[in-house]
Amino acid sequence: MNTLAHKPIAVLATKVWFTNDMLYVLLQDGREIGVPLLWFPRLRKATKEQLSSWRLVGNGIGIHWDNIDEDISVSALL
């Protein structure tokens, strides 16, 4: 029996946005994912200004907020 070697493909984010209770991430392959802000207490308590000051790290493998000291791995959202 032969098996193919599986090389993990990095899941990369390109955009982040919020609603009142959700965090949304647009992935490089076109998928959109949404997760409840309840999962991230620092994000849930942040102001709209603080939420909007995100930046992608590692070419999109993660999201970072300097002003609230929060980091999220995109693969962890999946």
**DSSP per residue over 2-54, as a string?**
--PPPPPPPP-EEEEEE-SSEEEEEETTS-EEEEEGGG-HHHHHS-HHHHT-E
Q: What is the pLDDT along the chain (78 residues), one digit of tens a residue?
A: 566 666 667 899 999 999 999 999 999 999 999 999 999 999 999 999 999 999 999 999 999 999 999 999 999 999
Instruction: Tell me, yes or no, whether 8 lies in a domain.
Output: no
Write out the residue range of the structural domain in which residue 37 sits: 13-77
CATH of the domain at 59: 3.30.2020.40
Instruction: Tell me, yes or no, whether 18 lies in a domain.
Output: yes
How many other CB atoms sit within 10 Å of the CB of residue 61? 14
Indicate the number of domains in the chain: 1
Instruction: Tell me, yes or no, whether 73 lies in a domain.
Output: yes
42: left (phi over 0), alpha (psi -120 to 50) or beta: alpha
Instruction: Tell me, yes or no, whether 35 lies in a domain.
Output: yes
Instruction: Tell me, yes or no, whether 3 lies in a domain.
Output: no
What pLDDT was estimated at residue 8?
A: 65
